[in-house]
Structure 1
């Protein structure tokens, strides 16, 4: 027996802890190098952790819902299991599982029924030695073909095994987390059309197959773990643990509010022409199949305004006592998700065309809602947009995302009486609020930048003439 410990890694930049959301294995389960064993939530994103060695799980260090420090042992694996490490029944179950050709963490009783019972009561000293041709591969992608062949057990009635349909048929390729998602949503993976590399089924494929009403196109969403509230005996208060994204957001906002001197400016203007342009673009052949909405054109207006006022796209380096002027734009988009508010960003948004920007925005939003945003997607932002208008509010005074010089809040767009060409008419009006770091941005620069955005959206043809 050789016990190896897998410790909680730092999956971000300097993160100190993470919460265990879901375990995909339990003690006694065999695992392979590269197999995802659990999903964790850091201060930035939900991340799947693969184990780096083969063996049999001996101990799970922490239950689901526990916040664990980086470096703590979360799982112990016996890399040289022998007959002395468990009962005969347990070892026989492990041996049967090792013979299966698919991901070992999700073995159905129907599949086990096929495995020959001609299995020795004891395993060799090294599990891997019993399967020399089976080199570890990424779970869910099958295994390397072996010269060893196993004759399937024939049922007594001569029919196909229960639950397996007529004929053997290949098992759908999907990672354990995707299989679990399919199980939660009641989706049969054998009828899902894969879109991943090598014919692999992804989370998006499962969600697409989970449409419960073709007429309304309502999709069953993946249940997201939330902190369990604690109710006091008199039920007049409920306490919710501060952890994960909310804990990180709180710390970042406090640090930003008390480090960078915030200034917020507002502008209210007529956005009617931009709303008309949105409708025109929806029928444009170059935008076919892409999502066109006001946020897309506001984002493009911000990028054009940055080109005209490049010093707004900067950062304050306290340690070096330098101002860092950035000649690229990683455009952050604040996204409200079941896990809390996160701010992923579109890398090099300044270099994207309008169709490319539309695609990037759609991918960013869908990934965030599904809880698949990676830590890398939330690092390196240079300026942020937050659309509070979707909640029906006029505007707000946003707090800077740490390390950035400015953040723009977009208010709701609504019909208001407005003086247009000398007459009061009903026009679509909105309010933008720009918060900026007054160490980096003075009143003149902040005002010019905000005024440029409003001018572009009042007369969207400037998107062409000002580029």
Structure 2
């Protein structure tokens, strides 16, 4: 009778960005006892730049999850161990004759076939445990009595701290941003009533559950006291009446954004210029493109698309605005291509993914890329690489009904354009005061490498194109 040889392999937290040192575990998609295959996504983590799903690089059975959801883990630290079949025949041959055969034969003593974690996980571990002497060896009962029981028995109940890891059939259905919100609010998804299609839990379900839970709480004063302790992201924090202050940990995307904005504000001398623009023709052009479908049936057309195209056209005419200040080399680096950043508000904070080589795209190609960028950001699936290498940025404050502002530069970039709300205002047009659709543009730039003349020319060109969008054809 032959027994299958297994060894334990550990999967370490990878550097999913450039030079990142840590990541927070948002969700586990597996639990001890689950079978995983090479390339299968086992968890979702959040770095200072984005939320990323991690695939495991080998096939086997999950032995242990070393960290619960919500834990921040250093890059290079083991986060999960997997029992891999047929990985180390030599060591087993040396130990098996001594005493392993008996325990291994009894290992299937896991006569709990209904629990794969015992049958597949603990059985082989008794035979191959000597390969992980530093962490556990339940087999070597005498030698492991003192160090092993505590660490080893903990992994078995590990599903308790990692309780939200139910990824098999009983795992509640919810999108990653909703799972993140539930974790921040301290809500167990298993007790939430789903109202979404196919039983998917939505953000509204969480808020409804939180409100229902809070209703009876005022009587026993303890309940409200427990709720405020739960940290929630600033963008999604639920502050209940009389609940007191809510403390939100500064980490992940918000921490990175704060550090970048402080560095930008105190490194680059910002100058902001404003201009009001009659965009009546641009708005008509947007309607025409929507109705005609000439950019494609499923392509999303918005005023932001034409603002982006106008900026790219202005950059082509004035490439000095698409530059970077190299302090070490004491040089101004004029970029060869335009990687257009679009500031996006997400449940995890503000991120700025960019469209690579946007200046080389047609209006149709730009529309497709812009739509994909926005949709990916809303789903919280923006990859770290999509947020690196930006050269100039647009922030659309108009979607919030804001007229204008003084945007802070993305670190390493020379300029950022704020696009304000489009409003119907009295305007002098062809010698008469008539209602026209007007917006305010604000261009912030790094005065070390962009002087007032260049900044003004760029802003004037953008305004001119939006006032007469036919220039997109003649200049683009």
The TM-score with structure 2 as length reference comes to: 0.70
**Residue 88 of structure 1, aligned match among 110, 115, 131:** 110
2:8 equivalent in structure 1: 3
2:43 equivalent in structure 1: 38
**Residue 453 of structure 2, aligned match among 444, 447, 461:** 444
Tell whether 2:263 aligns with 1:255. yes
Structure 2 stretches lacking a partner, 5+ long: 1-5, 87-103, 129-165, 176-195, 208-228, 233-238
Secondary structure of 1:356's counterpart equals helix
**Residue 183 of structure 1, aligned match among 173, 180, 203:** 173
String of CA shifts for 1:48-82, please: whole Å, max 9, x gaps: 11222233222211110111111222112233595
Residues 419, 21 of structure 1: CA spacing in aligned structure 2 closer, same or farther, 3 A cutoff? same
Tell whether 2:253 aligns with 1:245. yes
1:269 equivalent in structure 2: 277
1:331 equivalent in structure 2: 340
**Residue 70 of structure 2, aligned match among 65, 72, 83:** 65
* Alpha carbons 1:88, 1:122 under 8 Å: kept: no
Secondary structure of 1:319's counterpart equals coil
* Alpha carbons 2:324, 2:413 under 8 Å: kept: yes
2:61 equivalent in structure 1: 56
CA distance in 1, matches of 2:341, 2:284: 26
Residues 249, 84 of structure 1: CA spacing in aligned structure 2 closer, same or farther, 3 A cutoff? farther
2:21 equivalent in structure 1: 16
2:151 equivalent in structure 1: none
String of CA shifts for 1:294-321, please: whole Å, max 9, x gaps: 1011111001100110110011122222
CA distance in 2, matches of 1:179, 1:258: 52
CA distance in 2, matches of 1:73, 1:30: 18
String of CA shifts for 1:381-424, please: whole Å, max 9, x gaps: 11100000110111011011111111000010001111111111
CA distance in 2, matches of 1:308, 1:386: 21
How far the C-alpha of 1:466 sits from its partner, in A, is 1.7
1:380 equivalent in structure 2: 389
CA distance in 2, matches of 1:363, 1:224: 27
2:34 equivalent in structure 1: 29
CA distance in 2, matches of 1:327, 1:371: 30
1:165 equivalent in structure 2: none
CA distance in 2, matches of 1:458, 1:434: 17
How far the C-alpha of 1:244 sits from its partner, in A, is 1.3
Secondary structure of 2:174's counterpart equals helix
CA distance in 2, matches of 1:181, 1:353: 44
CA distance in 1, matches of 2:7, 2:56: 16
Q: Which moves more between the two structures, 1-10 or 247-256?
A: 1-10
**Residue 287 of structure 1, aligned match among 295, 303, 313:** 295
Structure (1/2) with the larger helix percentage? 2
Residues 250, 95 of structure 1: CA spacing in aligned structure 2 closer, same or farther, 3 A cutoff? closer
Secondary structure of 1:239's counterpart equals coil
CA distance in 1, matches of 2:292, 2:326: 44
Secondary structure of 2:173's counterpart equals helix
* Alpha carbons 1:181, 1:222 under 8 Å: kept: no
Residues 21, 79 of structure 1: CA spacing in aligned structure 2 closer, same or farther, 3 A cutoff? same
CA distance in 2, matches of 1:178, 1:430: 51
Residues 177, 443 of structure 1: CA spacing in aligned structure 2 closer, same or farther, 3 A cutoff? farther
String of CA shifts for 1:441-464, please: whole Å, max 9, x gaps: 111100100010001111111111
Residues 53, 407 of structure 1: CA spacing in aligned structure 2 closer, same or farther, 3 A cutoff? same
How far the C-alpha of 1:358 sits from its partner, in A, is 0.9
* Alpha carbons 2:296, 2:364 under 8 Å: kept: no
String of CA shifts for 1:214-249, please: whole Å, max 9, x gaps: xxxxx9679999x942899x8431101111111111
Secondary structure of 1:320's counterpart equals coil
String of CA shifts for 1:90-127, please: whole Å, max 9, x gaps: 677439998xxxxxxxxxxxxxxxxxxxxxx989979x
CA distance in 2, matches of 1:224, 1:360: 32
How far the C-alpha of 1:269 sits from its partner, in A, is 1.7
* Alpha carbons 1:83, 1:123 under 8 Å: kept: no
Residues 328, 178 of structure 1: CA spacing in aligned structure 2 closer, same or farther, 3 A cutoff? farther
Secondary structure of 1:286's counterpart equals coil
CA distance in 2, matches of 1:258, 1:351: 33
The TM-score with structure 1 as length reference comes to: 0.71
CA distance in 1, matches of 2:306, 2:109: 65
* Alpha carbons 1:332, 1:346 under 8 Å: kept: yes
1:74 equivalent in structure 2: 79
CA distance in 1, matches of 2:124, 2:10: 24
CA distance in 2, matches of 1:246, 1:420: 45
